[in-house]
Structures are given as C-alpha cells and as structure tokens.
Structure 1
C-alpha cells in the first residue's frame, strides 16, 4: 500500500503535527506500507528529521514573499499556515501525486486544509484520511481521526460525509510504542514531587522554558531533580542549555527519543497544552499547563475542569512568579497531585491505536 502524508512544521506551526504523523507512519510501515511525506519548505521545518527517520520527503517550494491570502472576518486563523492559497498548494501536491500514481492513501494533518483542497485532490488518490482536532471546518474524507477528548461527541456530524469513518477520542491517541512500554513499567504515583519534567514542545515559540527555569531557580527547589527537554527548532536552546548547567540538579535533553522514559520517571510536569498532552495523560503525569497557542485552549481547559491538569492560563499572562507559586502549592498538596494523576489516567480509556492502522490499511472506503 502506497501512503503519502501531507503535513507541515515550522517555527510558527511547531513540530507536533509532524511528530504524530511520524508515529502513525512507523506503524503503517511496520504493517507493510510504503510511506512518503509532502511538506512545504518553511523556516524551521523538520524535513531533514523526517528523512533521517527513513522516509522520502517531497518538498514544496518556499515562497519568500508569501502569497496574498485574503484576510476577512470569515477566514480561519490558520489559513495562512499553508503560506500560499489553498489551490496553489493543492496543485503543487497533485503534481507530486500524479508522478507517484497510483497512490492508495493520502493522510492530511494540517489546520489550513479543508474540503476544498481535499475535493481537488480526490481523483489523485483512492482514499483520503484526515487528522484533525479543531472541528472548525468541513472535510471531504473517508476517515477522520481526532484523538482529543471532548464533551461534544457529534462535533463532526455536519463536517464530514455520512460515510466517513470517525475515530474520535483519546482511545485513538497516536502514541509511540515507547509509551506503551513505559506504561507497563509505571509505578503508582503517591503525589510527592521529587522530579519535574519541563517540556514546551519542539519549538516553544513563546519561550516558556526559560520562564519556567527562572521560577525553578529559586533556592527552595534546589533539591528537586529537573529534566528540561528542547527540540532542534527551539531558537533559545543554547541559552537554555547554559542556564541548565548553572542550575543545581537540572539536566538538559536535546531532540531526544526517550521522552516516555522521562515522563515515566517524573513526578510532575510543566508544559504546553499541545500534542504532549495525551502522552502525559497516558502515563498519569500530573501537569502544570500553560497555553502557548490558540488551538490548545479548549482541550487544556477541559483537562483543567476534569482535574487532570492545572492550567495557569495563556502564556502572555503567566509570569515566572505564578509558576513558582503553583509549584509550591503542588509540593504542599501531595494528595491533590495524586488525584490529578488518577484523573489523567482515567481520561485515556481503552487503547484502540491498532484500530487506526486497520482502518487505514483496510478497503478503499476506510472500512475494516
């Protein structure tokens, strides 16, 4: 089976979309599929990283001047992420698909793509699969995957064809095998905090890592073991590394492949409300969350309301003093921390990741 991913990463978009697509790509490859990627050559992209993982990447050209994307009240906030208008992107993608024909499945993970783009491409592939978690635009696809938890089970009913197979909820979380292994080795958390994990995604565009390190530099926290993880697209990585070296018991980790192990060992986490949310919940890791992008707001608030996460709010309004105060509060309330861990685990439900693979590798219409 020939499968193509259409996904982008950049300083603006971040790395989460590519990372979850790579997780899915690895499992599809293990199931016998031939997998490639189509990505635009945006500043801060992960094309080389994808190539290093063994996949061919077809690069769409970078347009230095961008494209005059129409701005009006009806435009979605992510429309500009394509950097060109949707038809240009669709035509450039179609050109690659025609060269590769026949293509069995096109998997799209992009907030700027909707049914217009997908409808334009439908004759070039046998099946279209969409990964989405916004539920803010219609799609033309055979399969839709949304790993987010939501109180609105029918949120895609008017947005996808009636025949579309909808895989919705945390049971379908796209988690790497290392997380399933870590879960088997997971010790029950008692709420006491000795080890903290700090990770704000591969890019951390709002520089929350340095803000958090400033909070943790208080001598009250000197006995804590601090693991700080940054990705290769983090522009402040050198400054962060230097600060880690100066701070007692603070360890710097760069573009790692052992995140699950760090999460398993951690007693508490400080991070963004992005794609790592479900990795943390899967391992019952209590979290102090800061919203660093608009698309994180809804899910972070939901987890806060359910007691699995303590959300401090939007990054621009969160100071290092607020982080420091919250850490002190958690240190003084192990029972609350323990309860957060239980609620995070409970949110994940039954693991149905294998079903995602079966549906994608199944018949033309996504049935299995």
Structure 2
C-alpha cells in the first residue's frame, strides 16, 4: 500500500508554512484527474490543530490525526511499517528522526535549516541556492534540492499574461501573517496608484480580516480560505503580485507574474537571495517596508524580463518528480 503520513504543525502565530508546503506535497500525490492510477493513502498528524488548520486540510479531503502532545511516543503509536513518514518542522532532531525511521517504511524530511547530520532516506529543501555541500548526511540519504523540487500545488501553472491585468494587484503574506503586513502593503498600493484594484488573500489562519473594513471597497477585495485553484486564478489575473518571501513566491513564479517579495521571517533569507540574484523578482524588501523602495519596485511592473527568467527556473514538473519518487519509496524494501 502507498501510505504517506505527514507530521507538521502550524498555528496563526507560527509554522503555517510547514503545513502548507506539506499540504502542497500531499496534493501532488493525489491521483491525476486524467489518470486511472490510484493515488496515495495520505494522512496528517498535527499537534492540537486549530479549526482553521483543520478546515484548510479538509478541503483536500485528507484525514487529520490530532496529537495531544509533541512527544515522539505518541506519534509512533500511529506509525506502521507500511508508512512513508514525512516530517516538516523544527522540533524533529536527529534522535527523533532515527526513531521514526526505525519504525516506518521510509522517512522523508522537509528541511530549510541545514543543521546537523541528516538521517532521513530523503531530504527535501526547495531553496534555490542550496547545494549538497551544505549538508552532512548518511550514506543512504538522497537530497532533493532547489527549484526542480519546488513544493508548489499543481494548480499553479504557467498562464498567459492577462489583457486587463495592468491595474490589478495580488497581495498575500503567507498563511498567518501575525504582524498584518498585508494591511501595510495594501495601503501602500492604494495610495501610490489611484487606478489600481487590489485583491488581498488572507490565509485561513489569518486573524486580521476585520482590519480591512475601512478601506475603499470599490478598489479592494478581501478574500480568505481560497483553494489552490482559486489562488492560481487570482494570481493569473493580476499584473503585479506582492507576496511574502515564502512558498507563495514560488507559486507566483510558477504562474509567471511580475512580483515583489517581502522578507517577513529570518528563515526566508536564502529564498530572498536566490530570487534576487536570479532576477526573478522586481524587488526584495525587508521590514519595516521603506515606501520609496516599494514605490520604485512597483514602477518596474511593466518591465517583465523577470517573468521570462521565472519560466526558465520553474518548469512545472515538480509534481511528476514527486509522484515518481514516492512510488519508488513505497515499493522499496
């Protein structure tokens, strides 16, 4: 049986990125609409998931095991010798991984820290500038690094430039956006361009929806709890995207749209440097946002060489690579 158990945590304050990229991988492993091939038996194990997290995963039809603690022993009660376990989080150290791998069929670790010795059968790090030299691994560990393994939902794929997208902007600052950077970005966009219409998409764990009620409704659309297909549609219809320097930036690049990225967390620095150095973005900004730098980046939106560079880096074939990988993992003795 092709059984996959995802172990990740996330809340409105931190960690939603772990759940969202694991969920993207889980979606890649669902059966294709035009294929008779059976998909994988996918489950999530999450420590005390919030209603927002449960709702997000329920949209994909994937069951969730609620863990009362983060203890290894509780997780192991749900791991069988038929399971390929995928760990995504900062609390899974080497000893934790070794114990899970001993009980599971295979172990996959989604990483972005590159710390210590990696003992999983497969390590995934989709940061663009990571190399095998950044890792210490066991002899059997396989490294899947860079944009070819971007953890992006298959709903995001290259689209033609929209004819009416010049005066439309898309804003998303990740799943939780605890500091409400979305509100700041929206205000800057509305102030700097009187003709611009903005769609801000708030993650399911974002608690700040009420803070947008005083902004002009004829120029601003506030959306929440969108599916991957709905997100891809909004991005595809916008001439400019302003997003967090996280997986959402990879999603925009996969659709191929001019974008500005904003670093909202320390662990995003490598993604920022990769996208800036490869000229995949109009601007890479940090907090607090400097209005003049933001305005200068927005002014470049009509110059689209970044879009062509995005198409070279993100080929849209990551899902095929992952389906092949996990089929092999499940079949391997």
Task: Report TM bin, short chain.
Answer: 0.7 to 0.9
| Structure 1, unaligned runs of 5 or more | 63-83
Distance change (3 Å), C-alpha of 1:366 and 1:222: farther
Cα distance, 1:296 vs structure 2 = 0.8
Superposed structure 1 runs of 4+ greater than 6 Å apart: none
Contact 1:312 1:318 in 2 (8 A): no
Distance change (3 Å), C-alpha of 1:47 and 1:221: same
How many residue pairs were aligned?
324
1:118 aligns with 2:136: no
Question: Matches of 2:332 and 2:248 in 1, distance apart?
Answer: 27
Distance change (3 Å), C-alpha of 1:201 and 1:102: same
- Structure 1 or 2: more helix by fraction: 1
Q: Secondary structure of the residue that 1:12 maps to in structure 2?
A: coil
1:146-225 mapped onto 2 (5 Å cutoff): 146-150=125-129, 152-158=130-136, 160-180=137-157, 183=158, 186-188=159-161, 193-218=166-191, 220-225=192-197
Contact 2:45 2:65 in 1 (8 A): yes
Cα distance, 1:196 vs structure 2 = 0.9
Distance change (3 Å), C-alpha of 1:167 and 1:327: closer
Deviates more, 1:344-353 or 1:201-210: 344-353
Distance change (3 Å), C-alpha of 1:310 and 1:124: same
Contact 1:143 1:164 in 2 (8 A): yes
Deviates more, 1:127-136 or 1:267-276: 127-136
Cα distance, 1:223 vs structure 2 = 1.2
Question: Matches of 1:111 and 1:311 in 2, distance apart?
Answer: 29
**Aligned pair partner of 1:362 in 313, 324, 328:** 328
Question: Matches of 1:226 and 1:328 in 2, distance apart?
Answer: 13
Distance change (3 Å), C-alpha of 1:269 and 1:129: same
**Aligned pair partner of 1:33 in 29, 40, 47:** 40
Q: C-alpha offsets along residues 309-345 of structure 1, whole Å, 9 cap, x if unaligned?
A: 2444332x224x34652355335xx33xx11222222
Contact 1:165 1:366 in 2 (8 A): no
Contact 2:168 2:196 in 1 (8 A): yes
Distance change (3 Å), C-alpha of 1:26 and 1:324: closer
TM-score where L is the length of structure 2: 0.87
